[in-house]
Amino acid sequence: MAVTESAITRKIVERASSGERVRELGFRVALLGCLLVAIVFLGVLIVDVSVDGLPFLSLEFFYTFPSRIFPEESGIQSALLGTLALMVLCAVFVVPIGVASAVYLEEYADRDRWINRTIEVNIQNLASVPSVVYGILGLAFIVRGPVDIFGLGVGQPTLLAGALTLGLLVLPIVIIVSREAIRAVPPSIREGSLALGATQWQTIWKQVLPGALPGVATGVILALSRAIGETAPLILVGAGAFQLFNPSIDGPFSALPIQIFNNVGEPEDIFRDLAAATILVLLGILLIMNSLAIYLRNRYENKW
Amino acid sequence: MKPLRFMSVAAPCVALALGAVACGGQQPGGGSGGGGAGGQTQQGSGSDFSQLSGTIRIDGSSTVQPFAEAAVELFSAEAPNVNISVGGAGTGDGFERFCRGETQISDASRPIETDEVETCEAEMIEPVELQVAQDALSIVTNRETMIPDNCIATEQLEQLLAPGSNVSNLSELGQGFPDQEVSLFTPGTESGTFDYFTEEVLETDAEQRTEGVQTSADDNQLVTGVSGTPGGLGYFGFSFADQNREQLNILQVDGGEGCVEPSIETVQNNQYPLSRPLLMYPSRQSLQQPEVKGFLTFIAENYQRIAEAANIVPMGQQSAQQTSQIIKTGQGGEPKPETE
């Protein structure tokens, strides 16, 4: 059956007029061209950054603090730890809320009610709001907000305030990917579970969520890799550009993008090279995270 | 040796990402300042800062930022338990944060303005003005743009940049000026350098011509703009001009008493007409905190060394004495904003 089908398809293509074929070829070349533009630019960027930055990349670079006076011995310890801590705190905040929202919207919400549809449309919109806007939101409602949640120094430009701001930034993305992962669990699984006497909550907890987990994990990692590349919201929240101590949850913090931004603005040329080295580190982290996401997807993806 | 010590602390932190937060507190004292600053800072300063501890947030002018960073680096070698975070949001934004109590010290490349003082006082924060270094606002041109005697008068700058000016060719400025289309590159309105220039040279209230002027908050972009455009002319802080001598032409400035080149000397003896103080503003309250007072005392004692390390012009001896007097007594240093 399948053989005959593809034979028919091929026949149709062969029957296409020569004009059609020329057009198809042109379309293919155009697509290839688009791809090349992206790859060439990425290649040029990486080569350019590597030429400047590689000489500074050493093991010491990771565990020394930045130095204004001895730039050649400068490192990124405080910014690197800041970025890693932001990532972890952001995940702690965003995963439970994001997944719970997705479960509600997919499993409980009645799509015929206007309120649920409004929420859905708003989440789609929020996912494309520019990051600076989230920075302003974070400054106004977290750093300068009326409530100091948990007494942990939210209400000051602290690491926690930065992580919460980044969390708000990626929350819509996490909700959207989690919903897609939950939707991908076939209804037959739910129906089977319910037919065996499980409650709706048991069905979700024991069947739906485990099934959706690989998709959720992939989405969360991709969302976090967007979060750690952000500069603008952190600048607005008040991240420090230069600090010689490690971040604590209720204290000042720096992050890799902030340090890159700061170094690029210094008068001496050597700081531009340091910025290039820091860019390489950030690219490395992003590459590791994206590879992890691809690995998780391929390794644990469920086939129903 | 030093990197090894860092590693023993940092490695477990990196390994366990969450540890990044947990390790925060136990770091052995900001290290000896980014490696390298340690050894040679043991001698030389009079006071003992080793018992101080706490957190200080500094934000404000990006012109003062290198000075603040160098000060923090040298200070952290002597006061390992004081954690200081430095930002460079710009003079105006820095005051905004300062007046909300989000920072303890605000860097500024121009004196605080009346309305800013009022905002601060509404929040019960009283700013204290301290000079810490100096800067020469430098006028630069493209290397191929030859100005007669390599000197420009402040009137000519006014002619060129005053609001509504329509000078489009350098030859309009006077005899001997080349027949060349002029391209202007200056900092933007958020910058303290812009405020200083408009106030001192143009004598306007933060206004300059808008047509035909490219502005940027990033001084390196101004350097690139001027050095890449024939007929390019711009102004920014001395360190950016000094660092890019090979690509730029630094002009002498005539403020009515002859042409003077910007240099450490002419700035310190006030001959250069566009020399300006670089300032730090603690609040009267934060000046009571031992760690803030200690940090500022350290600056007053080591201003020369810090300025050299940051490639910034040190303040004169008299200003230094005044600064250290204010810190010591906690009295004086009231801002004197110009009343208009």
What gap in Å lies between CA B298 and CA B24, rounded to an integer?
A: 25
Within a domain: A108: yes
Instruction: Give the tokens for residue A110.
Output: 């009645």
Residues A175 and A51 in one domain: no
Residues A45 and A90 in one domain: no
Number of domains in chain A: 2
Is the CB of B17 less than 8 angstroms away from the CB of A87?
yes
Q: Given strand B259-260, what is the order of strands in its sheet?
A: B151-153, B252-254, B259-260
Q: Are strands B105-108 and B53-60 parallel, antiparallel or unpaired?
A: parallel
Residues A90 and A235 in one domain: yes
B interface test, pick of A148, A160, A244 with most B CB neighbours within 10 Å? A244
Instruction: Give the tokens for residue A112.
Output: 């015929």
Residues A120 and A28 in one domain: no
Give contacts of B7 with chain A, Cβ < 8 Å.
Answer: 63
- Give DSSP secondary structure letters for B117-156: HHHHHHTT--B--EEEEEEEPEEEEETT---GGGEEEHHH
Is the CB of A66 less than 8 angstroms away from the CB of B34?
yes
Q: Is the pLDDT of residue B270 over 90?
A: no
Q: Is the pLDDT of residue A41 over 90?
A: yes
ipTM: 0.80
Give contacts of A266 with chain B, Cβ < 8 Å.
Answer: 66
Say which of B6, B30, B88 has its CB closest to residue A262: B88
Q: How far apart are the first and last CA of chain A?
A: 23
The answer to whether the Cα torsion of B170, B184, A268, B260 is positive or negative is positive
DSSP-based three-state secondary structure for B81: strand
Within a domain: A12: no
Give the residue with greater pLDDT, B191 vs B8.
Answer: B191
pLDDT interval class at B62 (50, 70, 90): confident
CA distances from A238 to B59, B65, B120 (A): 9, 15, 19
The CATH number of the domain holding residue A86 is 1.10.3720.10
Residues A99 and A248 in one domain: yes
How much is the average pLDDT of A143-151? 66
What gap in Å lies between CA A190 and CA A209, rounded to an integer?
A: 11
Lowest average pLDDT, out of B43-47, B154-158, B232-236, goes to: B43-47
The answer to whether A74 contacts chain B (CB < 8 Å) is yes
Say which of B17, B73, B243 has its CB closest to residue A67: B73
Is the CB of A75 less than 8 angstroms away from the CB of B311?
no
How much is the average pLDDT of A125-137? 92
pLDDT digits (tens, 9 = 90+) for A202-222: 999 999 999 999 999 999 999
Residues A221 and A269 in one domain: yes
Within a domain: A206: yes
What gap in Å lies between CA B21 and CA A253, rounded to an integer?
A: 10
Q: Is the pLDDT of residue B98 over 60?
A: yes
Give contacts of B63 with chain A, Cβ < 8 Å.
Answer: none
pLDDT digits (tens, 9 = 90+) for B278-323: 999 999 999 999 999 999 999 999 999 999 999 899 998 889 999 9
Residues A154 and A31 in one domain: no
Within a domain: A41: yes
Please, what is the average pLDDT of chain B?
Answer: 83
Within a domain: A9: no
Give contacts of A67 with chain B, Cβ < 8 Å.
Answer: 33-37, 73
The answer to whether A232 contacts chain B (CB < 8 Å) is no
Q: What is the pLDDT of residue A142?
A: 85
What does R_g of chain A's alpha carbons equal in angstroms?
A: 24
Is the CB of A74 less than 8 angstroms away from the CB of B34?
yes
Is the CB of B21 less than 8 angstroms away from the CB of A85?
yes
Within a domain: A245: yes
Q: How far apart are the first and last CA of chain B?
A: 58
Residues A50 and A84 in one domain: no
Give contacts of A254 with chain B, Cβ < 8 Å.
Answer: 85
Q: What is the pLDDT of residue B24?
A: 38
Within a domain: A4: no
Give the residue with greater pLDDT, B33 vs A277.
Answer: A277
Say which of A240, A254, A268 has its CB closest to residue B243: A268
Residues A164 and A22 in one domain: no
Please name every residue paired with B138 in a beta bridge, in sequence order, or none if there are none.
B236
Is the CB of A240 less than 8 angstroms away from the CB of B74?
no
Is the CB of A265 less than 8 angstroms away from the CB of B219?
yes
**Full domain range(s) for residue A244:** 71-300
What gap in Å lies between CA B325 and CA A71, rounded to an integer?
A: 33
Is the CB of A73 less than 8 angstroms away from the CB of B34?
yes
Residues A206 and A142 in one domain: yes
Please name every residue paired with B81 in a beta bridge, in sequence order, or none if there are none.
B53
Residues A40 and A97 in one domain: no
Give contacts of B61 with chain A, Cβ < 8 Å.
Answer: none
Give contacts of A235 with chain B, Cβ < 8 Å.
Answer: 89
List of domains in chain B: 45-134+277-329 (3.40.190.10), 138-273 (3.40.190.10)
Question: In terms of Cα–Cα distance, which of A102, A238, A96 is closest to A165?
Answer: A238
User: Would you tell me which residues 100-159 of chain A have a C-beta closer than 8 angstroms to some C-beta of chain B?
Assistant: 143-144, 156-157, 159
What gap in Å lies between CA A58 and CA A27, rounded to an integer?
A: 46
Beta carbon pairs, A and B, within 8 Å: 168
Rounded to the nearest angstrom, the minimum Cα separation between A123 and chain B is 29
Within a domain: A10: no
pLDDT interval class at B46 (50, 70, 90): low
The answer to whether A73 contacts chain B (CB < 8 Å) is yes
**Percent of chain B topping pLDDT 70:** 85
Residues A100 and A32 in one domain: no
Is the CB of B74 less than 8 angstroms away from the CB of A69?
yes
Interior angle at CA B215, CA B213 and CA B218, nearest 5:
150
CA distances from B58 to A76, A78, A180, A185, A197 (A): 19, 16, 45, 52, 62
Say which of A68, A157, A239 has its CB closest to residue B66: A68
